Amino acid sequence: MAGKKWTEEEIQYIKDNKEKPCKEKDEDLSAFGETKSIYAWSADARCVVTIGALRYRLSAGWDTKNALTKKPERSVRQNFKDWVKENHPTVYDDWYVNGY
């Protein structure tokens, strides 16, 4: 079965109503007397989290300044390392002490 042949009207409708890429849909954020896109803020030295964490914080209702500047309270890597040390000491020794 051959693919659908799109009419010019259908093609134009799709072009006119196509969603913008995600980065164009983001609202600008204001902090420190500046207004930038979320991408620009994530590259700013004052932002201490990843863009994913920043998006999450903003969607969870954090104010912009805290979302940008509040350091994460815990490190997933550190917590995993501690868990391995407590639950699998021989693996811990191999991975973290001996470097294997």
- What is the per-residue pLDDT for 74? 64
Alpha carbon 46 to its chain centroid, in Å, reads 16
Angstrom distance (rounded) from CA 53 to CA 68:
9
Give buried/exposed letters for 18-47 (b at 16+ CB in 10 A, else e): eeeeeeeebeebebeeeebebeebbeeeeb
User: Mean pLDDT in runs of 10 for the chain (100 residues)?
Assistant: 73 68 66 91 90 91 94 69 83 77
Biggest CA pair distance of the chain: 67
pTM of the model: 0.51
Angstrom distance (rounded) from CA 58 to CA 81:
29
Give the residue carrying structure tokens 């294997």: 100
- What is the per-residue pLDDT for 14? 73
